[in-house]
Amino acid sequence: MFFVHLSKLKILMVASEAAPFAKAGGLGDVVSSLADSLAALGHDVRVLLPLYFLIPQDLKQGFHPLPGVISVHLGQEHWARLWEFVPANGPRYYFIEYDHFFFRDRLYDGPYGGFEDNPQRFAFLCRAAIDLPEFLQWIPDIYHVHDWMAALVPVYLETVARRGPLAHTGSVLTIHNLQHQGYAHQSIIDYAGLPWGLWQSDKLEACGGVNFLKGGIYFANKLTTVSPTYAEEIRTPAFGCGLEDIFRFRGGDLVGILNGIDENLWNPATDPTLPANYDRNNLEKKSLCKMNFCQQRFGDAKSDNRPLFVAISRLYAQKGLDVLADILPWVVETMSVRFAILGCGEWLLEEHLASIAHRSPDRIWFYRGYDETLAHQMTAAADFFVMPSRFEPCGLTQLYSMRYGTLPIVHATGGLKDSVVSRAHGVERATGFVFNDLTHQALYSAIGWACATYYDHPSEILTMRQNGMCRDFSWKQSSRRYLECYHWAMEKKMGFP
């Protein structure tokens, strides 16, 4: 531990997203806020991202081109420009410009699903990450790579880049969501400039093709995922998405570290998007946020005291909002509650939610889309935040909710189980409501439990809100755990067991 605090590391993060430049979900939040917190501890942190067309223009205005072009050594050599963004304090960002791959108005998919050339796009990013240090004349101690899109970096490091300037550079792969693994046709081996010897079932091969994430898991010096419970779950067939055996094989190198949040961006006391700011000592101002929201969205003439339940999510099977949609008519018929839902994703689920909301406009409001300002306002306005995820590697929205004095109602899985203390364990420590099985009945009962507590025991609700707001969800603890992992990875690279 002494060593961890003393030595300043050179860390290169490689990812396909980082807020505020490009974000499709929690990955983008985590990459930038973790990088910020490591930089604040004095480490030399740099982040490599693609130069996407969709990065907001006002941010791009702060980027500067680096002189020269970088040569990216795939099967064939490619040439690209690099842009740099150097904030006043915090990590340095590099953006690789290659319009053929990144000049698109979406990150990963179009109207008909994932882009077909995603494997080539992210093989390019990974190989650029390997070529970057020589271009910059800056050799990192550690690569911290995120999800399948960056998972070929450890593969390159342990094979074609094993000798040379990166010979002592270790690697840590963080898995944010195992559902996405990056499958490609076997021809990607030639494209990526990797040796065919890697095309084996205990390395990159899977189902006759190539699995990027599997390769990363096999070759990274250390593996992490984003909560301790998910780190256990993925060793089982129910959650391992076919990779459970390799997780058991590499079990000694796999660590679960709970995500932190950006406490400046998500702070109800200073959040500029809210009609009223508040902290745990003046929660009556939170009621103003609710009143304002209900007046705007439900057209209330004055305050309505019914509890407001909120869900903000990508609308995919993982998030379990189909289960909520199934019971919602029944819930509003039998309980005096209101629901506001923000999300987009699967068309059928969007349609289902829109039609339910259309039938009960005074009780259910649904906004189909992605809107960060609205996400902040709804989190502040809500009494309860519903997360019936089938699986949840970490989840950030329940952390944001607790920080905003909103009580999460969650299925006991992954990071939800690790972060929410259930009312069932006593009101003194409770921060939300946790249910064990994801069934219609269990979700209905959990909502009923929260609703009954709201009407019958308002003082308990207040205590639970304050409990959540007192919790430390910063990166303080977790960034130190990542530093430990970096040191373990570097030792492993040097041949220590």
DSSP 254-302: EEE------TTTS-TTT-TTSSS---TT-THHHHHHHHHHHHHHH--SS
Check residue 432 for interaction with ligand ADP (CB under 6 A).
Answer: no
Residues 34-93 that bind ligand ADP (CB under 6 A): none
> With CB under 6 A as the contact rule, which of the stretches 88-96, 180-188, 331-339, 395-403 interacts with ligand ADP?
395-403
The CA distance from 423 to 407, in Å, is 10
Q: Min. distance of Cβ 23 from ligand ADP in angstroms?
A: 7
**Options 33, 292, 397, 406; binder of ligand ADP; rule CB under 6 A:** 397
CB atoms under 10 Å from CB of 393, counted, come to 29
Check residue 227 for interaction with ligand ADP (CB under 6 A).
Answer: no
**Residues in contact with ligand ADP, total (CB under 6 A)?**
18
> With CB under 6 A as the contact rule, which of the stretches 144-152, 167-175, 302-310, 390-398 interacts with ligand ADP?
390-398
Residue 226 in contact with residue 393, Cβ under 8 Å?
yes
**H or E stretch covering 366:** strand 364-368
Which of 27, 23, 45 minimizes the C-alpha distance to 479?
45
Alpha carbon distance, N-terminus to C-terminus of the chain: 18
Q: Min. distance of Cβ 375 from ligand ADP in angstroms?
A: 4
Residue 169 in contact with residue 201, Cβ under 8 Å?
no
Q: Min. distance of Cβ 312 from ligand ADP in angstroms?
A: 5
Q: Min. distance of Cβ 346 from ligand ADP in angstroms?
A: 13
User: Nearest-5° angle of CA 399, CA 405, CA 407?
Assistant: 70
Check residue 20 for interaction with ligand ADP (CB under 6 A).
Answer: no
Q: Min. distance of Cβ 396 from ligand ADP in angstroms?
A: 4
Check residue 313 for interaction with ligand ADP (CB under 6 A).
Answer: yes
Q: Min. distance of Cβ 330 from ligand ADP in angstroms?
A: 25
Judged by CB, which is closer to ligand ADP: 109, or 371? 371
Judged by CB, which is closer to ligand ADP: 92, or 368? 368
Query: From residue 346 to residue 385, what is the string marking binding to ligand ADP with x (rule CB under 6 A)?
Result: ------------------------xxx--x----------
User: What are the distances in angstroms from CA 370 to CA 27, 71, 109, 283, 397?
Assistant: 16, 37, 15, 28, 14
Q: Min. distance of Cβ 463 from ligand ADP in angstroms?
A: 25
The CA distance from 141 to 243, in Å, is 28
- The residue whose Cβ lies closest to ligand ADP is 26
The CA distance from 246 to 235, in Å, is 8
The CA distance from 23 to 370, in Å, is 11
**Options 91, 133, 268, 395; binder of ligand ADP; rule CB under 6 A:** 395
**Options 12, 26, 142, 340; binder of ligand ADP; rule CB under 6 A:** 26
Q: Min. distance of Cβ 177 from ligand ADP in angstroms?
A: 6
DSSP 239-251: TSTT-HHHHHHTG
Check residue 344 for interaction with ligand ADP (CB under 6 A).
Answer: yes
> Which amino acid appears at position 87 of this protein?
P
Judged by CB, which is closer to ligand ADP: 119, or 260? 260
Q: Min. distance of Cβ 205 from ligand ADP in angstroms?
A: 28
Cβ-defined contacts of 469-474 (< 8 Å, 24+): 469/279, 469/280, 469/402, 469/403, 469/404, 469/405, 470/280, 471/402, 471/403, 471/431, 473/260, 473/261, 473/263, 473/399, 473/402, 473/403, 473/419, 474/37, 474/260, 474/261, 474/263
User: Nearest-5° angle of CA 426, CA 429, CA 432?
Assistant: 80
Q: Min. distance of Cβ 60 from ligand ADP in angstroms?
A: 22
Check residue 240 for interaction with ligand ADP (CB under 6 A).
Answer: no
Judged by CB, which is closer to ligand ADP: 377, or 453? 377
Judged by CB, which is closer to ligand ADP: 221, or 413? 413
Residue 11 in contact with residue 140, Cβ under 8 Å?
yes
> With CB under 6 A as the contact rule, which of the stretches 7-15, 167-175, 199-207, 337-345 interacts with ligand ADP?
337-345
Q: Min. distance of Cβ 368 from ligand ADP in angstroms?
A: 9
Check residue 419 for interaction with ligand ADP (CB under 6 A).
Answer: no
Residue 83 in contact with residue 51, Cβ under 8 Å?
yes
CB atoms under 10 Å from CB of 178, counted, come to 23
Applying CB under 6 A, which residues contact ligand ADP?
Answer: 25-27, 29, 312-314, 342-344, 370-372, 375, 394-397
